[in-house]
Amino acid sequence: MAFSVCLLVLLSILKQYNPGAAILTALGGCIVLIWYILRTAQPIVELVKNLSRLSGFEHLDSVLKAIAIAMLTQSAQDLSQQAGQTALAGRIELAGKVAVLVAALPLFSVLTETLVSLLG
């Protein structure tokens, strides 16, 4: 968290004097934070994968992909809005939603098969 506070102070100073550098610094900071989150969350992901294997839930990868896509999309959208590109931020949000739906297609297939088997 100390990194985030230092980055915030640096960004507020840079934004006054060089907005372009502030955007690039924010992008770099986001990349470092996402890398840290992924590295820190790895044991949790492994535990959840092991539990899903034991429980027989095969499609946890789809859920994890959808979560990762949503997190990356939100970061890209926030950076676009900070850069003043609201139209681009809206398209990033739309692209993220479509990507989450594509990642979740295996879940929709299983749900459809389950409903058809229950009804028929």
Tens digits of per-residue pLDDT, 10-35?
A: 888 988 998 888 888 988 988 898 88
CA 21 vs CA 4, 13, 100, 105: distances in Å: 17, 10, 31, 39
Note if the pTM is more than 0.85. no
Closest among 91, 66, 95 to 81, alpha carbons compared: 91
The CA distance from 109 to 105, in Å, is 6
Contact call for residues 83 and 92 (beta carbons, < 8 A) = no
Tens digits of per-residue pLDDT, 35-67?
A: 898 899 889 888 888 887 887 777 788 888 898
SS3 sequence of 79-97: HHHHCCCHHHHHHHHHHHH
Contact call for residues 73 and 96 (beta carbons, < 8 A) = yes
